[in-house]
């Protein structure tokens, strides 16, 4: 599970920010902490998970359970990336 959470954190970072520095600043952690989580698969602490969920609430369900509920606004980074691509190409509905 530890590497799964680390991978999910990285997926959110890649969709929502320009890099580790910006992500770390937005959630209030040291960049080295984030690097350690992503590179070693270390289990993120509860306060880090809480900060991610507060900053990007649309990923809370997916981050914690792996499930999505688009009707309720709970998506994965993959869904968000697809939405943005569709919007950029003018084929999206939003």
Total number of domains constituting the chain: 1
CA distances from 57 to 10, 64, 66, 74 (A): 16, 11, 14, 8
Whose CA is closest to 20, among 10, 42, 50?
A: 10
Provide the pLDDT for residue 68. 98
Rounded Cα distance, 52 and 70, in Å: 19
pLDDT per residue over 50-79, tens digit each? 999 999 999 999 999 999 999 999 999 999
The parent domain of residue 54 ranges over 2-89
Is this model's pTM higher than 0.85 or not?
yes
Whether residue 94 is contained in a domain is answered as no
Whether residue 51 is contained in a domain is answered as yes
Provide the pLDDT for residue 26. 98
Whether residue 41 is contained in a domain is answered as yes
Q: Assign 23 a pLDDT band (cuts: 50, 70, 90).
A: very high
The CATH number of residue 37's host domain is: 1.10.260.40
Provide the pLDDT for residue 90. 84
């Amino acid at each position: 599970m530890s590497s799964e959470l680390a991978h999910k954190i990285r997926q959110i970072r890649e969709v929502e920010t320009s890099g580790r520095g910006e992500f770390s600043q937005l959630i209030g952690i040291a960049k080295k902490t984030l690097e350690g989580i992503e590179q070693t698969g270390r289990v993120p602490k509860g306060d880090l998970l809480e900060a991610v969920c507060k900053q990007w609430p649309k990923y809370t369900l997916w981050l914690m359970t792996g499930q999505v509920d688009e009707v309720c606004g709970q998506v994965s980074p993959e869904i968000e990336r697809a939405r943005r691509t569709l919007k950029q190409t003018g084929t999206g509905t939003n």
